[in-house]
Amino acid sequence: MKKKVTKAIFPVAGLGTRFLPATKSVPKEIMTLVDRPLIQYAIDEARAAGIEDFIFVTSRGKTALEDYFDLAPDLEAALEGAGKTELLDILRTTNMDSGAIAYIRQHKPLGLGHAVSCASKLIGNEPFAVILPDDVIAADKPCLQQMVEAYEETGGAMVAAMEVAPEKTSSYGILDVKGGDGPVVSVNRMVEKPKQGTAPSNLAVIGRYILTPHVMQNFAHITKGAGGEVQLTDAIAAEISQGRDVFGFRFDGQRFDCGSKAGFLQATVAFALARDELRDDLYGYLTEMVSVDKAAQ
């Protein structure tokens, strides 16, 4: 019987250079879409998928993340005293059970694969999820939950996948797949950041994974790959060469690349428009902006 996926790794040790100077002192994952930090969206998605153990791979300057998930007794007492029960409920959604979160350090930013491998001892011999909090996915059924359900059928390693424009393939891990247009496709080959014009398809890997303990073991013989970094893609691709299954999963939902400024701004607008209390004002403002811009042309 397949083991249930109850552990998730959140690699948050990157430098976040695309958001400098903000990320000099604020971890990228603490930046907010409307009023919730990116990391909260990731945790909520993981919980919905049945994750019970949350493993953060952090680095220097990320203590704000640890503080965010701590209890805030003074703040809770102040809100309670003032009868602000709605705000108190919102605050309490950030509380985590003692022992549910582990923080481990990646001492040098040697790449996403290296960050994941730092959690190896905490994963042991179990399947695990990896969530990149800067990929935010809006979906009726949360993306990781969709993947866990698919994984229960397929086993193997599974990566979230979506079609990207051909000129964008060099920024992603790209899949060479067999299988039709359905959500689950079998992967023949994976290439991290292929040079322009050499991508085997335009099906790109997005920041959600369900991986087997074998993938963790592969790091023992993975060397630096694209960009001089230890790549997670290479450890997953090694599964294929060893004759084990790797699947791509075309999820249902809209993905925002919140690791880039443009993606972050688009997500901010989309998530704000989805909120009843903000929608009308923001919609009016955006319509006005667009019409002024058109008038100027």
Q: Does 156 bind ligand UTP (CB under 6 A)?
A: no
Q: Which stretch binds ligand UTP (CB under 6 A): 39-47, 62-70, 106-114, 245-253?
A: 106-114
Count the site residues for ligand UTP by CB under 6 A.
20
Q: Which stretch binds ligand UTP (CB under 6 A): 16-24, 36-44, 69-77, 169-177?
A: 16-24
Q: Which stretch binds ligand UTP (CB under 6 A): 10-18, 148-156, 194-202, 213-221?
A: 10-18
- For the chain, what is the HEC assignment? CCCCCCEEEEECCCCCHHHCCHHHCCCHHHCEECCEEHHHHHHHHHHHCCCCEEEEEECCCCHHHHHHCCCCHHHHHHHHHCCCHHHHHHHHCCCCCCCCEEEEECCCCCCHHHHHHCCHHHHCCCCEEEECCCEEEECCCCHHHHHHHHHHHHCCEEEEEEECCHHHHHHCEEEEEECCCCCEEEEEEEEECCCCCCCCCCEEEEEEEEECHHHHHHHHHCCCCHHHCCCHHHHHHHHHHCCCCEEEEECCCEEEECCCHHHHHHHHHHHHHCCHHHHHHHHHHHHHHHHHHHHHC
Which of 1, 17, 74, 228 binds ligand UTP (CB under 6 A)? It is 17
11 touching ligand UTP, by CB under 6 A: yes
| Least distance (Å) between residue 199 CB and ligand UTP | 18
64 vs 282, which CB is nearer to ligand UTP?
64
Query: Nearest approach, Cβ of 26 to ligand UTP (angstroms)?
Result: 13
38-67 mask for ligand UTP (x: CB under 6 A)? Answer: -------------------x----------
* Contacting ligand UTP within 112-131 (CB under 6 A): 112, 114-115
Binding piece for ligand UTP, criterion CB under 6 A, among 84-92, 107-115, 148-156, 184-192:
107-115
